[in-house]
Structure 1
Amino acid sequence: MSEKAVPTVGLAANNGVVANGLVKLLDAFGGFHPESFRKGYRLGYDKGREVKQDPAPLKVVKQDITVRLEDARNDDDPVVRFDGLLLDDGRLNITPTLIKTFQADALARLGEDHQPTDEQWKAILAPTTSAVTIGIAGTGKTFVMMVRAVFMHCYLQIPLEEMTVLAVTKDCRFDVIAELTHLFSRWGVSLSQEQSLELVKTPRGALLQIIRAVPPLRDVVPFELVGMIDQGDEDGRAFDPRLTNEQMEMLDAAYQAAYTRSSTFAQSIQTLFANTVALPRATADNPQLIRYSELGSSWIGSDEVLVKAVTSQWHSAGNWPIPEIEATLTALEVMGRTVNTNGYFPMLGAYVVLGFPKGLARDFTRPGAEVCLYEECLAKRAFIQRFCMERVIWVDSPDQLASIVTAAANMGDTAPRFAARVKGLDRPMGIAECLYQTGALIETLGMSPAKTIADLKFMPNDPDAQFFESAAKFWPMFETHLLSAEPKVMTINRLFLTFGQHGHKNLKAVPTDALKSMRNVLTDELQDITVHTGEFIKACMLENRHRIEVEGIKGAVMSVYAAGDDFQTAHGTQGATPKYLIDFKKHFPSKGFALNLLGVNFRSQQGIIFSAHSLILGIPAVSTLAPASAAHGKDNSPVEVFDLTAQTFMSLFDQHYAAGENILILAANPEDYRQSEPFVNVVVERDKSENPGNRQVRVRAAQRSKGLEADTVFILGDFVAASSTWAKNQIFMRARTVAIEDQSPFDVIQQNELYRLAHIGITRARLKCYWLLSKESVDVAHRLKASTRISGVSGSFLDHR
C-alpha cells in the first residue's frame, strides 16, 4: 500500500506546491535530492520553533493500520524430556535436634572410647540422599556405614524392610551381620537371624530376592550357585573361579551337547585339539630353550642313531608301534638340518616323536654318545620347538600317547577332553572350563561373549585365535543348554542383565513388597562391584522412585550411601570396576550429593601404613589425603622382608605366638604357598590343640583378606601377574571398566592390582608385618611382581634378604 503524503502545516503556498511537486517527481524516479532535503529540513526546523512559540491547531490525519496475525513461537517438533535423577528429594529429614539426640545417645551407648571422629560424624550424618565415603584402609568406613544404618532406622524411622546393606563377598557379609547386630543391640533393637540375613546381603542375594518374586523365574537357579543353593548358600564365591563338582558336570554336559549339535563348533574343537596336543612353538627369548636348542643344533647330526635308540626302548617295553599311527621313520628338513620322527598320525595331521622312555634311568647313555639319553632328548625337543614349522606331537609316556589316540579316535561322536593351552592362564585348565571362564569374564565385564570375541582382531599365526573362535561358538549353546535343564539354569550375569540394563522393563513385574528393600541401599567396598551389580542397584532404585512418585506411595524415603577406597580395588582383572565409586555422583544422581573423605587409620601403626602406601604411590585415586595413623607413640617400624624359609618363618612366628598375639598368615600366590604349606600346617595344628576355644592363628588367601585384621601379619610369597595377552587387552579396552587410555589396559590394571593386593595384605596388620619372599624361579623371573617396589621409596621397608 502506497503511503499518503501528510500536508505540512503553515508553509507558504508557493513553497508547499513546489515541495509537493518535487516529492512526487523524485518518487516517480525513485530519486533523492540532497540539497532539497537539507533546505526542507531547515525550513521545517525553523517553522517548528515558531509553532512551539505560537502553537496553531493541529489537523489529525487518519492512517490505515494493518494487524498481522502471525505465530512467532518456535516451530520445532515438540520433544518429551525425561528426569535423569535416581533420587528426587535432595535432603533427608535430619534436624539439629535429631543430630544432638543421636550423638548424645551414641556417647552413652558406645562409650567414650568408641566415639566416631568429627570426620566420621560428618559422613554418618550426611544430610543428602546420595552420599559416598572414601577412606584408606583402617579408617572405619564399614563402621561409619553401620552407624548410619542405625541412625536411619532408629532416628529417621526408616523400616528395616526398606533398607539393604550390600557386602561384596560372603565372608564380608557375615562379618557385617555380626557387627551390625551387635551395634543395633546397643540401641535396644534385637535383630533375629532371619532379619539380619534379610537386611545384609551380597549383590547375588539381593538379586535372588527379586527373582523369587517373579513367577516365571521363581525356580531358576544361577549357574554359579549350582551345588550350593540347595544347602542354603545364596552367595557362592564371588571372584573365585573354582567350580563345584555339580557345576563341572553341568558344564561338561553343555560342552558335549554343543559338540554334537554344531558341526562348526566340532570342527573348531578338533583343530584346537590337534594344535594343543602338538608341541607348541616356544618363545625365542626363553633362556633354557635357547641353551638346549643350541645343544640340539650341535647334536642333530646323529639324530638318526638317537631316534633308533629311543624307538628300541619303547618297542622292547611293548609300547610301540600302535595301529593308529603309521610307524615309519620320517625325516623332516628343519633349518637345513634333518630331524627324524617316529611316525605320522593321519587323524590329526601330525608327526609323532617318541620322547625319553618312561622307567629308564636318567643317567642312561647309549653306546657311542657323550651325554646321557635324557639330555639328548631334551635338546632335540628344544630344537623342534624353536625351529620346526610342522605339527609335531612329542610323546613322553605310553599313557599320554594312549590318551591322545583314544580322544582322536572318538572325535566323531565325543568331544575330546584336553587341557587348554591359552596365554595368560595361571593354572592348567580343561577345555570346557576354559571356554566357560573366558565367556564368563567377558560377560562379567558387561559385554556379550560371542559378539565381543567376534570383534577381536588377532595377529597372524596367533595360537590363541583358534581357542577364541571356539569360545565364541560355545557360549550361546552353553546358555541354551542351561535353559533346557529342570529347573532352568541361567548365569548370574544374565540374571543381573535381565533386571539391570533391562530393568526398566522387567522390574515392572516385581511386586512392590519385594522391591521396597532396595529403596535405601548402603553398599560397602563399592570399588569391587561389577557393571551388572552397579546397573542392577540403579535400576531397582529408579523403579522404586517411579512407584513412589508416579503411583503415589506415601511416606516412603529413598537414599543411596556407599563406602569404599579405589586404592583397594582387588578384583579388577576379574571384572570388578571402581567407576561407580569414582563417578558416584554421575551414576547415582540426586538433587543432593555429599562426598566425605576419611584419612586417619585406626588399625595400623604409622610404619606399616608408610610401607603399604609406598606400594601404591602414583596410582590415580579419588582420595589424596596423606595416610596417618591414630596410634601415636607406638612402634613405628616398617614392614620387614625376609627370604621365605621354614626356619625364618618359625623363628618369627614363635616370637609373636608366645606373646599371645593373634596372627594372620596370607598366601600371596598358590606356588609359594605350596612351598610353605608344610610348616604353616604345623603352626595351625599347634594353635588348634592349644587354643581350641580362642584361636590365635588364621590362614587366608591374600586376595580374600579384606575386612580381616590381626596383631601380626605374615605374607608368604609374591604377588605375581599372569602373562600378558593380546586378546585380554583388547577385551578390557572395549569394556572400559577403568578410565585408561593405554593400549594395553589389562596389563595396566593387572600391574596396579598387584600393588593394591600387597597394600591390602600389609594393612591387615596392627603392630607388625613380615613379607617372606621365595627365590625367583625361571618361570616367574620375567613376570610382573609387587615386590619390585620394595626398594622404590627409601626407608619404606626393612629388607633382610
Structure 2
Amino acid sequence: MPQHTPDLPPELRPLAEMPLLKRLAARLFGHGLTRLRAQHRFSWLHGQADGFRSGHTAGVEYGYQEGKIDGLEEGRQVLLIRDFRPDEHRAPGVDDDLFDDWRLPLTAELKKRIKADVARLLPAHAQPSVAQWKMIFSDTPSTSVIAGAGAGKSTSLVLRILLLTHYLGFELGSMTVVTFTRESRRDFINKLMEILSLWGQPLGMKEAQAVVRTFHSRILPMVRSLPGFERLQAFENLNARTEAGFDEVDSNPFELRINDTQRQQLNACYHGLYGRHERFRELIAPLARHALQLKELERDHPDVQKRVAVTELAAKRDEELCDAIEDLWFRAGAWPIKGIEPNRQTVQINGAQFHCHGYIAELDTWVVLGFDPHENARISRPGSKLSVRAEWAVKRTLFQAFCRKPLIWIESYESSKRLLSSLAGDATAGPGFDYKVKGELASAPLLDSFVAAAGFIENLGLDVPTAVGQMSFAKDDPDRFFFEALSIFWKALEDHLLDQSPPIMTYNRMFSLFGENTPENLKLLSDGLLRPMSHLMIDEFQDVSPQIVSWLRASLREIRSRGPAMHVGRGAQCSSLLCVGDDWQSIYGWRGSSPKYFMEFNKEFPSPATTRVMLGENYRSHQHVIDAAEHIVRATPAISGKKAKASGAPKALVPVVVRDRDDAALGRELLAHYQQGDSILMLYRKSSDKLLIQEHIQSVVNLDSSLPPTARRLKQLTYHSAKGLQADAVFLLGDCQHLTSSPYKNQVYRMAGLGKEGDAQAYDSAQKDEVLRLAYVGITRAVSHCYWYIEGQDAQGVNVPKASDRIAQGKAFFDDQRGSKPQERGGSLL
C-alpha cells in the first residue's frame, strides 16, 4: 500500500494516492498536453512534489540546527546565572584574625646589608644561625619560635628589635618585649642597651626599661588611666618599699609568699567579714575544727601497735603528765589561753581514762597541750624512766588512733599565740589556724590558702565565685566549706582593697578588667596606652596563663579595630606578635599556666599569615646531656619535630650520672668540682633537702660566700628557680614526682577548657607530664657534668609517677649507678 504523505496538499500528492476517477482524468489530460507539446503535466506535478518534499526536508533540518544553537546559547546563559545566584541564603564569613594582612618590607638588599653589619659589629660566637636569621627576618604578622634549652634566643630577640627600629624606622614606643621575672628583665635590658649602642643607637636605662617589661608592669598603667585609679597599687607589690613610694617594682608572677603588709590587709578584711557575715562565721567553725583536730592514725600503724600495749600504764601517769606539761606552758607565759576554759575532761581510750587540758565553746572542741619543740627533750618527771616528751608522744599516738572526740592538739607556744589572737577577736589577727586543701603538699594559714586557691582559679581566666558555684564535693568533705568561705571572702577582699586610700587591686583583677569578657573596657584606653602593645615579643611563652592570653587577644583585637588612624605619622604600622618558648620547659602548671597556647599557637592567635621557626641548636650542653634530658621528656605530648643538636666548641661527652641518695658523697663530689674551678648549681626539690645537704657542703659555701658576687661559682636553688641559668656541673637532689591528686584543680581545669576531653583528672594528668619537664629543665642546666641523686623506692612511695622511671638502661648518655657500691662507680672526679 502506498505511503501516505499528509504534509503535502492534495493536488501535489503522488498519483497512487489520488482517487481512481481523478487518476484517470489526470492521465488523459496529461497525455493530451504532452502530445500538443504544451507541457508535460505529469512530470511537472511530480517534479513540483519532489522539489517541495526535498525543500521541506532541508528547511526542517536547517531550522532545527539554527534553533538548537540558539537554544543551547540561551540555556548556557540560564545555567551561568544559576551558578552565581544560589537559591539558599548564605551569611558572610567572620574575620577573626587578630592582625591585618601585611608583611614587613624586607628586600634581599636590606637583608644582605643587615647580615654584613652583624658580621662586622658582633663577635664570631654571637653570629646568628640560619634558623635564628629566619626568626629575625620573619615578615608575617605572627611568629612562633620553638627555642629549646641553650638555643641562644636572647641575642636573636635583640637583633629583631634592631631590625624594626634601626633599619625599618619603627618607634621603640610601639613595641614591648615581655620577660617573666625581674632577673630575666634585667639581663635583657643590659643586652639591648649593649647591642643598640654598637649600631650608634644609644639607649638610656629608662628608655630600655620602658620597652622590656613584665606583663604586670604593662597592665598597671592601663588600670591607672581609669578615673579614680590614678594612684592604684598592686596587692602583690605591697611592702615597705611601695609605702615609701617605690610602687613600680615588678613582682615575680610565681612568688607565693605573703608579706606582713599584705597580711595586714587580709587579716583586717577577715576580721570585718567575720563580725558581720553570719554564713561566713558558720563556715569558719567546721574549718577550724577540721584543721586543728589531731590527725588520725590507722590502728594497724606500727607506732600504734607498739604503744597500745602500754595504754593502761600511760593512763595511770596521765594526770601527772598533764601537770608537767601545764607547768612548762605556765613558765613560757603561754597558759592559760583566753577563750579556752582550763577544764580537764576525761577521755576514754580503750577503756582507760586520759585527760584534756581545756575546752573551746565557740568551736565545741577539746584542747590538749603539746610538748613545745624548743623545750629540752630530756626533761622528765620525778621518778619516771621516760622523758616528758616520750610520755607525751605515747599519749599523742593513742589519741590519734582511738580518740573520736572533737580535739585540738596545740603543738607549740607559737601556734597558741595565733589561736589566742583569733579567739580574742583581734582586729589585726587572722583565723589563727592552718588549713590543707586536698591535693596541696602542705598546710598553710587559712588566708594564705585562700590566696593560693583564688590565684590558681583566676590564672585560669575564671571568676572565683562563679567557679566555686560550679564545683561539687562530698557532703562531709571540709573542702566544701573551704571553697564556699573562699567565695565570700574573695569578693569581700576585692571590695576592702578598693576602699583603701590609695585603692589596691590584685594583678589578676587588673587583667580580667581588660580581657575578652570585658572588651568594652579597652575602648576607654588612649591610643598612647595601647600603642606599646602593637608589636609584642614575648619570651618564655610556654608559661603563659589563660588569663594573660585573654588579655593579649583582647588588646590585639582592639588595636586592629582602631585601624590606621591609630598609627598616623608613625613608622610602625599595624601590629605583630612574636612568641618564643619551649613546651618542654613548661613547669608552672601548678600556678595555672599551660603550654597549650604555645603548642596550638596558630589556633589560639589567628593570623592571615604566620611564620614558625625551630631553633634546634644547643649552644650550652654537649650531646649526652641533651639526649638524656630529651629521653626523659619525650614521653610528654610535644610540638613535633623537636631534636636538639649540640653546637659551638665540641665538649667531652660525659653521661648523666644517676646515684642513690647519699648527701655525704654528693658533698665530696661537689667539692672536687669546685676545687677544679667549675661553676656549680645545686638544685633541690624541697627546702628540707637544702638543710640536710648544708652540713656536707658547708666548706664550699663558706669559701664561695667570702668572694665578691661576680666571682662566686656556687648557687643553691630549687629546680623551678634554676630556669635560664647554667653551670659547668649541676647536682640534682631528689626525684621529680607527682605526689598528690587535687580534686578542686581537676574541676576548674576542665572549666577552663584545659586537658584532654573526657579526662576527669585533667590537672593531675597535666602534672604527670610536668614532672618530666621539670627533670628536663634540671638536666639541661648542665654544660659538662650532671649528677642526679635519687631516694630509694621506699622513700618515694609506690605507684607515684616520677621522672626517674624514664632513665634509660644501656644508653651511652646515662650512667645509672644506683645499687652499686662507691668503689664500683666510674666517671667520678674523686
Bucket of the pairwise TM-score, normalised by the shorter protein: 0.7 to 0.9
Match of residue 621, structure 2, among 594, 604, 609: 604
**Residue 792 of structure 1: CA displacement?**
6.4
Moved more, 140-149 or 392-401: 392-401
- Aligned-pair distance for 1:480? 0.8
Q: Which moved more, 1:731-740 or 1:445-454?
A: 731-740
Match status 1:52 vs 2:71 = no
Question: Residue 788 of structure 1: CA displacement?
Answer: 4.2
AA in 2 matched with 1:168? F
**Residue from 498, 509, 520 that aligns with 2:535:** 520
- Look at both structures and tell me which one has the larger radius of gyration over its CA atoms: 2
Amino acid at match of 1:651: R
Q: Which runs of 5+ in 2 are unaligned?
A: 1-5, 12-51, 64-81, 819-830
Whether contact under 8 Å (2:264, 2:428) holds in the other structure is no
* Paired letter, 2:713: Q
Among 685, 704, 713, the alignment partner of 1:687 is 704
Q: Could you tell me which residue of structure 1 aligns to residue 438 of structure 2? A: 423
* Aligned counterpart in structure 1 of residue 550 of structure 2, from 521, 526, 535: 535
Give, in whole Å, the separation in 2 of the partners of 1:173 and 1:350. 52
- Residue 667 of structure 1: aligned partner: 684
| Displacement after TM superposition at 1:352 (Å) | 4.2
In the alignment, residue 149 of structure 2 is paired with which amino acid? A
Structure 1 residue 786, shift from structure 2 partner: 3.6
On the 8 A contact 1:578/1:738 being kept in 2, the answer is no
Q: CA deviation at 1:280?
A: 2.6
CA contact (8 A) 1:573 1:749 kept: no
Counterpart of 1:187 (choices 191, 199, 209) is: 199
Distance 1:158 1:735 in 2: 37
Counterpart residue number, 1:208: 220
261, 274, 277: which one aligns with 1:246? 261
Correspondence list, 1:373-388, <5 A: 377-388=392-403
1:168 paired residue number: 180
| Equivalent-residue separation in structure 2 for 1:403 and 1:215 (angstroms) | 40
Distance 2:173 2:275 in 1: 49
Q: Which moved more, 1:548-557 or 1:630-639?
A: 548-557
Q: Deviations over 1:481-514 (max 9, x none)?
A: 1111111111101101111224631122222122
Q: Judging changes above 3 Å, is the alpha-carbon distance between structure 1 residues 453 and 616 closer, same or farther for their aligned structure 2 residues?
A: same
Contact 1:225–1:235 (8 Å) recurs in 2: yes
Tell whether the 8 Å contact from 2:145 to 2:614 is kept in structure 1 after alignment.
yes
Out of 486, 489, 503, the position equivalent to 2:504 is 489
Alignment of 1:263-662 (within 5 A): 263-282=278-297, 284=298, 290-300=301-311, 304-314=315-325, 324-325=340-341, 327=343, 329-332=345-348, 340-342=354-356, 345-353=360-368, 377-395=392-410, 404=419, 407-408=422-423, 410=425, 416-502=431-517, 504-549=519-564, 553=568, 556-631=573-648, 633-642=650-659, 647-662=664-679
Cα pair distance change 1:330/1:96, threshold 3 Å: same
1:120 is paired with a residue whose SS is helix
- Measure the CA separation in 2 of the matches of 1:117 and 1:258: 60
Q: How does 1:141-152 map to 2 (within 5 A)?
A: 141-152=153-164
Instruction: Write the distance in 2 (CA, Å) between the matches of 1:370 and 1:11.
Output: 149
Return the letter of the residue paired with 2:106: I
From the superposition, tell whether residues 312 and 433 of structure 1 become closer, same or farther in structure 2 (CA, over 3 Å).
closer
CA distance in 2, matches of 1:253, 1:567: 42
What is the SS of the residue equivalent to 1:641?
strand
Deviates more, 1:199-208 or 1:753-762: 753-762
Query: Matched residue of 1:249: which SS?
Result: helix
Whole-angstrom distance in 2 between the partners of 1:212 and 1:402: 40
Deviation at 1:781, TM superposition (A): 7.8
2:706 match: secondary structure: helix
Q: Which amino acid aligns with 1:459?
A: A
1:682, CA displacement in angstroms? 4.2
Report SS of the residue matched to 1:257: helix
Partner of 2:824: none
Given that 2:100 and 2:574 are in contact with CA atoms closer than 8 Å, whether structure 1 keeps it comes out as no
Q: 1:741 to 1:683 in 2, by over 3 A?
A: farther
Distance across 1 between alignment mates of 2:206 and 2:369: 63
The alpha-carbon distance between structure 1 residues 294 and 654, as it changes in their structure 2 partners (threshold 3 A), is closer
Query: Partner of 2:730: helix, strand, or coil?
Result: strand
Indicate the SS of the match to 2:593: coil
- Three-state SS of the structure 2 residue aligned to 1:231 is coil
Structure-1 residue corresponding to 2:98: 86
Is the Cα–Cα contact under 8 Å of residues 614 and 792 in structure 1 kept in the other structure?
no
> In the aligned structure 1, how far is the partner of 2:512 from the partner of 2:606?
21
Contact 1:133 1:141 in 2 (8 A): no
Tell me which amino acid in the other structure corresponds to 2:303: Y
Q: Which moved more, 1:736-745 or 1:235-244?
A: 736-745
**AA of the residue aligned to 2:168:** L
Worse-matched range after superposition: 673-682 or 728-737: 673-682
What CA distance in whole angstroms lies between the structure 2 residues aligned with 1:781 and 1:374? 32
Local SS of the residue matching 2:711? coil
Residues 606 and 631 of structure 1 are in contact (CA less than 8 Å); yes or no, is this contact kept in structure 2? no
Cα contact 1:260–1:414 (8 A) shared by 2: no
Partner secondary structure for residue 236 of structure 1: coil
* Matched residue, 1:23: none
Deviation at 1:154, TM superposition (A): 1.9
Q: Does 1:198 align with 2:210?
A: yes
Deviations 1:588-611 (A, max 9, x none): 222111111121211101111122
Q: CA deviation at 1:450?
A: 1.7
Matches for 1:640-789 after TM superposition, within 5 Å: 640-642=657-659, 647-678=664-695, 680=697, 682-691=699-708, 694-721=711-738, 723-739=740-756, 741-773=758-790, 785-789=802-806
What does the per-residue CA deviation read over 1:162-218, in whole Å, with 9 as the maximum and x for residues that have no partner?
111111111111111112222222322211101110111111111123334444432
Amino acid at match of 2:321: V
The amino acid that maps onto 1:464 is D
Are the counterparts in 2 of residues 357 and 397 from structure 1 also a CA contact under 8 Å? yes
Cα distance between partner residues in 1 of 2:513 and 2:704: 48
Q: What amino acid sits opposite 1:434 in the alignment?
A: S
Deviation at 1:551, TM superposition (A): 6.3
Greater CA drift, 358-367 or 507-516:
358-367
SS at match of 1:83: coil
Aligned Cα root-mean-square deviation (Å): 3.8
User: How many correspondences in the alignment?
Assistant: 743
Summarize the Cα distance change of 1:793–1:92 in structure 2 as closer, same or farther, 3 Å threshold: farther
Deviation at 1:552, TM superposition (A): 7.4
Instruction: Report if aligned partners of 2:435, 2:446 keep a CA contact under 8 Å in 1.
Output: yes
Distance change in 2, residues 1:258/1:796 (3 Å): farther
1:220 aligned residue? 232
Q: CA deviation at 1:407?
A: 4.1
Q: Deviations over 1:536-581 (max 9, x none)?
A: 2222222222223476746514211111000000211111122221
**Aligned-residue offset at 1:722:** 5.1
Verify the 8 A CA contact 1:687 1:695 in the aligned structure 2. Answer: yes
Match of 1:262 in 2: 277
Q: Compare 524-533 and 145-154 and name the one that shifted more.
A: 145-154
Aligned equivalents of 2:668, 2:430: Cα separation in 1: 53
Distance 1:633 1:331, change over 3 A: closer
Percent identical among aligned pairs is 29
Residues 688, 497 of structure 1: CA spacing in aligned structure 2 closer, same or farther, 3 A cutoff? Answer: same
Question: Per the alignment, in what secondary structure is the counterpart of residue 725 of structure 2?
Answer: coil
The answer as to whether partners of 1:90 and 1:590 remain within 8 angstroms in 2 is no
**Using a 3 Å threshold, how does the CA distance of structure 1 residues 417 and 95 change in structure 2: closer, same or farther?**
same
